[in-house]
Structure formats: structure tokens, C-alpha cells
């Protein structure tokens, strides 16, 4: 059924009701994409954390499913990942098809085996399996990896083809360390190495992702992504990555820690398992600074559009919206701009999401502004100059601390010719520029639907070629 509430995304998945945070267990099974996610099935604040579930055949249209892993009596189901156990190394297959294995963090607020009274809680890694392609799951009674820590979470598991064994990494949040483990059967895990502390040390670390990509010279490199909270550039949470080498034991970075985002609402990104030939991830489009207070109802929380990852020059991570999104283009709306000092406005359909594709030629010191307006005024402004992008989010959600501000993303190199791709949904803006080298992801909370795009120059002559699309809603 189509959702039509104020702020309800028309391009991004949300469950009908209640709280959402990290994407979990992203996996492709027989051509079906599974999106699991941190979910409170009972309320619109964190609690009873479980794995919510949605499926899609095209990465665009998602159908909500029954909760896949329900919070257990003695622990909540925190974040984790999933793989297909092709060779049934776990022994959990039923003989007809390979089992799916999920590794997740069990979070106990009062763990019976707690040994240190000072521990407020206890986290350990648990295994669940599915014999029906991801629809239903059965969790094991005991943790498969318990270091008797209060905080130790967010397992990311993958098959290390070179060593022919499983590798898992999980985070020690307070130590700002990632620990790598290996296993032959997904049940018994042996420590391999530690990475960190390094990079952003202002907050705790959470939700690692780790995967190979081919660099410009055709050589395999490994990307390690780690989120942190707080310590984000504009307050609240943020995300960083390194590119380097992995020898089956340890990760050796070849780059410094780099920010993933120029915006404020990109957290806990996770890439799909078992998606051959591509690496696609999506993130929780939110920031822990205000996530629990977003004025949306009856759901709270959403995800970014899926983004395909590659490596560019200087081992930079490139993020591009998946090409599947083109299938949502419904109508092309007129957009021509003479490029002079006169502002021009273009009508948008307040009910739908829009995509803008643009190419700009900018001289040094020039600036173009894209203003997104409702009847109430400016709801967001994107400033594009030859050295970078800025997204200005107006502070008209005064109850949300850290909401208003200017989020800036510099280009790695100044360029006269600039490509821009932008997805405007009812309550978010995702901007990709400079061939996917620069991304800004921000939530918006327009006072009324955004019905106008206004383009404003700075008096210099600018060349702009642009196409504006109204997008079909993903709800049918």
C-alpha cells in the first residue's frame, strides 16, 4: 500500500511502523535481496532490538516481511552480517540447499554469566541459520564467540577465498579496535589480529565492514570501514575508511583514515554478501545525535539509496547510486537555465522524489546555488563551487540538537567541469559529485512539501546542462 504521511520517503525503504537503525545481514539469495535491520517492533525508540526484514528483486521496491530474529528473553539482537554457507561447513544445511548463516551480537543487559559486577551489560557473537533462503531463522542457544566483554559487537563475516576459510571481524568500541578471527565451520573462532586504535579517536567505534575492491592498476585492495560516535565533523556520529592490504591475518592500511561523507546522515553502512562482480552497500540515513527524536510518525529511521563502490585514483573510495535507480524515472521535467545572474524557479511535485543530473562549467570563484523550497521557505540549499559542495540545512527543527548547519565536502582536485547527481526525497537529499568521489547525505525536515527548485547564480556566466526527473514512488 502506498504510504503518504508527511516526511514518508517515496524513494527509500521504511517499515510501516516503529524504530529502525543499522542495516544488518545484507545478502542476495537466488536473485532476491534481503535487507535486515535493527528494529524495535513495539515502539519508535530503540528497545526490544530485533532484526526487521524486507525483500526486493531490484534493490528499489522492498516488501516488508515478518521480523526475522526476535529479541530473546535474555538478549537483544544487535547488528551483524550474513553469508551463504555454500559448502555446508557449519553442518546446519538440511541437505537440499546451502544454509544461510547470520552472525549477530547478543546484547544482554543482565547476563547470567556476568562475572564483573561493574559490567552494565554483556555482548557476545551468536549464530543463527536459515534453511529456507532467509525467510525464517533459528538462533543457537549459546554464543559462538564470547570474550566476556561488556562491549564487543557488530560481526562482519566473509569467505576468505585465498585461504579457504571464514573470517570475521568485530569491534571493541571503547578500545577503538577491530579484531579479526578465522574459522573453518563458523562455530569456532580463533583470533588473528587487532587493528587500531588509529584514525578518529573522539568517540567509540562501531559497525565495521571489510571487502576487496580492484584498484586502478588491477590489483586487489581491501577497504576497512568503521563508524564512530561521537566525533563526527558536525557533531554526533560519522564514518571513516582505510584502503590497504589483507594477508589473511592482518589488515595493513596504505592510506590514512578518510571521511566517507560530507553530510551528517550516513552511519553503519553494510555491503551485500553474495553479490558477484559488484560491491553495493547502503547505510542508516541518520545520526545518533538526533535519531531518537526525529518528528516522523509512525516510523522512525530509513536507509540511503544503495550505492555501488569502486576504487579511484589515490585509492579513493568511489560511491555511485546503483544504476537500477534509473528504472524509477517517470517524467522529465523542464529545466533550462541561462546561467546568468537571474534566479530561475522550476516546479517540483511535492508528493514524489526527484533526481537531478547536471554538468556544470565553473570558473574559479564562481558559485551556483540550488535552493529547495516549500511554501514555508527554504528547506535546504546546495552550493556548488569549483572547490567543493556545501549543503546548508536550515535550523527550523529547534528541538533537534545539531540539526541546522553547513555540511561541506571539498573536491579532491578543483575542476572546471563538474558532474552532479542528486536524489531529493520527501525528507532527504543525497548528492554525488566529481564522479562519485564526493557525497553528501543529509536528512531534511521540510515544514511543507518541497515544490520548487530555485537555481541562483552569482552573476558570472555559468554553463549548466541538467536533466530533472520526477521519480516513481517505490510503494505500489
Q: Which residues would be at the binding site for ligand FRU (CB under 6 A)?
A: 21-22, 38, 49, 78-79, 105, 153-154, 206-207, 268
Please say if 22 is a catalytic residue: yes
How far apart CA 199 and CA 177 sit, in angstroms, is: 10
Query: Which of residues 207 and 391 has its CB atom nearest to ligand FRU in the complex?
Result: 207
Phi-psi region of 41 (alpha: psi -120 to 50; beta: other; left: phi over 0): alpha
* Pairing state between β 100-108 and 317-321: unpaired
What are the grid coordinates assigned to 399, written together? 528541538
- Asked if omega into 197 is within 30° of 0 (cis), the reply is yes
Query: Which of residues 143 and 468 has its CB atom nearest to ligand FRU in the complex?
Result: 143
Query: Which of residues 13 and 19 has its CB atom nearest to ligand FRU in the complex?
Result: 19
Shortest Cβ distance from residue 422 to ligand FRU (Å)? 26
Rg (CA), the chain: 22
Query: Which of residues 49 and 382 has its CB atom nearest to ligand FRU in the complex?
Result: 49
**Catalytic annotation, pick one of 22, 151, 209, 227:** 22
Shortest Cβ distance from residue 91 to ligand FRU (Å)? 27
Query: Which of residues 48 and 187 has its CB atom nearest to ligand FRU in the complex?
Result: 48
Shortest Cβ distance from residue 215 to ligand FRU (Å)? 29
Question: 341 phi and psi, to 5 degrees?
Answer: -75, -15
Query: Which of residues 270 and 392 has its CB atom nearest to ligand FRU in the complex?
Result: 270
Question: 192 phi and psi, to 5 degrees?
Answer: -110, -50
Shortest Cβ distance from residue 75 to ligand FRU (Å)? 12
Provide the residue count of the chain. 476
By annotation, the residues acting in catalysis are: 22
Amino acid at each position: 500500500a502506498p504510504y503518504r504521511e508527511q516526511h514518508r520517503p517515496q524513494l527509500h525503504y521504511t517499515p510501516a511502523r516503529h524504530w529502525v537503525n543499522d542495516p544488518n545481514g545484507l545478502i542476495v539469495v537466488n536473485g532476491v535481496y534481503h535487507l535486515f535491520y535493527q528494529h524495535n517492533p513495539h515502539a519508535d525508540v530503540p528497545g526490544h532490538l530485533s532484526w526487521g526484514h524486507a525483500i526486493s528483486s531490484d534493490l528499489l521496491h522492498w516488501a516488508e516481511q515478518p521480523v526475522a530474529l526476535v529479541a530473546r528473553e535474555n538478549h537483544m539482537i544487535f547488528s551483524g552480517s550474513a553469508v551463504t554457507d555454500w559448502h555446508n561447513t557449519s553442518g546446519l544445511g538440511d541437505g537440499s540447499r546451502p544454509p544461510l548463516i547470520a552472525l549477530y551480537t547478543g546484547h544482554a543487559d543482565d547476563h547470567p554469566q556476568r562475572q564483573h559486577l561493574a559490567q552494565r551489560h554483556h555482548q557476545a557473537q551468536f549464530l543463527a541459520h536459515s534453511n529456507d533462503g532467509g525467510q525464517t531463522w533459528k538462533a543457537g542457544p549459546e554464543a559462538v564467540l564470547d570474550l566476556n566483554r561488556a562491549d564487543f559487537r557488530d560481526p562482519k563475516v566473509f569467505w576468505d577465498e585465498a585461504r579457504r576459510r571464514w573470517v570475521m571481524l568485530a569491534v571493541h568500541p571503547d578500545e577503538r579496535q577491530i579484531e579479526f578471527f578465522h574459522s573453518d565451520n563458523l562455530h569456532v573462532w580463533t583470533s588473528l589480529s587487532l587493528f587500531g586504535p588509529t584514525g578518529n579517536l573522539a568517540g567509540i567505534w562501531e559497525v565495521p565492514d571489510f571487502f576487496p575492491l580492484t584498484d586502478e592498476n588491477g590489483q586487489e585492495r581491501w577497504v576497512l570501514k568503521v563508524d564512530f560516535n561521537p566525533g563526527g565533523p558536525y557533531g554526533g556520529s560519522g564514518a571513516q575508511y582505510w584502503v590497504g592490504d589483507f594477508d589473511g591475518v592482518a589488515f595493513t592500511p596504505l592510506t590514512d583514515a578518510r571521511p566517507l561523507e560530507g553530510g551528517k546522515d550516513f552511519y553503519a553502512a553494510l555491503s551485500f554478501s553474495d553479490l558477484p562482480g559488484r560491491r553495493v552497500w547502503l547505510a542508516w540515513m541518520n545520526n545518533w545525535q538526533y535519531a531518537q527524536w526525529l518528528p516522523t510518525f509512525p516510523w522512525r529511521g530509513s536507509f540511503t539509496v544503495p550505492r555501488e563502490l569502486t576504487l579511484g585514483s589515490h585509492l579513493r573510495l568511489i560511491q555511485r547510486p546503483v544504476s537500477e535507480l534509473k528504472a524509477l524515472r517517470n517524467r522529465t521535467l523542464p529545466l533550462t537555465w541561462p546561467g546568468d545572474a537571474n534566479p530561475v524557479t522550476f516546479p517540483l511535485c511535492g508528493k514524489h522524489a526527484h533526481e537531478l543530473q547536471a554538468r556544470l562549467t565553473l570558473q574559479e570563484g564562481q558559485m551556483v546555488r540550488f535552493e529547495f523550497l516549500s511554501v514555508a521557505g527554504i528547506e535546504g540549499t546546495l552550493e556548488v563551487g569549483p572547490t567543493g559542495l556545501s549543503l546548508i540545512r536550515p535550523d527550523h527543527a529547534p528541538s533537534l540538537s545539531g540539526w541546522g548547519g553547513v555540511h561541506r565536502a571539498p573536491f579532491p582536485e578543483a575542476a572546471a567541469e563538474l558532474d552532479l547527481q542528486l536524489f531529493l526525497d520527501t525528507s532527504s537529499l543525497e548528492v554525488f559529485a566529481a564522479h562519485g568521489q564526493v557525497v553528501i547525505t543529509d536528512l531534511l525536515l521540510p515544514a511543507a512539501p518541497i515544490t520548487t527548485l530555485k537555481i541562483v547564480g552569482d552573476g558570472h556566466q555559468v554553463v549548466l546542462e541538467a536533466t530533472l526527473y520526477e521519480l516513481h514512488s517505490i510503494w505500489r
